[in-house]
Amino acid sequence: MGVKVKASKIYLPKFGWMRFFNSRLIPDGFTIKAATIRKRQDGWYVSIRIEDKSIPDYVSKPLAEVNSVLGCDLGITKLVHLSDRYQIDNPKFSTNKKAKRTLKIRQKRVSKKVKGSKNRKKSANKLGRFHKKILDKRTAYQWGVANKIVSRKVDAIALEDLNISGMLKRCKVKVDENTGRFLKNGQSRKKGLNRAISDASWSELILKIEYLAAKQGKVVIKINPKHSSQQCRNCGHIDKSNRDGEKFICTQCGYHEHADIGAAKTIRDRGSARVRGDSAKLGVNHQNAQKVSPRTCVQTW
257 flagged as catalytic: no
Contacts of range 38-45, beta carbons closer than 8 Å, 24 or more positions apart? 40/132, 41/125, 41/128, 41/129, 41/131, 41/132, 42/129, 42/132, 45/300, 45/301
Q: Which amino acid is at 99?
A: A
* Annotated active-site residue in 155, 199, 210, 260: 260
* Annotated active-site residue in 73, 155, 199, 210: 73
155 flagged as catalytic: no
- Give the number of other CB atoms < 10 A from CB of residue 225: 19
| Burial class for 59, CB neighbours closer than 10 Å (0-12, 13-18, 19+) | exposed
User: Is the backbone of residue 97 left (phi > 0), alpha (psi -120 to 50) or beta?
Assistant: alpha
Task: Please tell me the distance from the alpha carbon of residue 269 to that of residue 260, in angstroms, as a whole number.
Answer: 14
65 flagged as catalytic: no
Computed from CA positions of residues 139, 145, 151, 154, in that sequence, does the dihedral angle turn out positive or negative? negative
* Annotated active-site residue in 155, 160, 199, 210: 160
Bridge partners for 69 per DSSP: 156
* Catalytic residue numbers, as ranges: 73, 160, 260
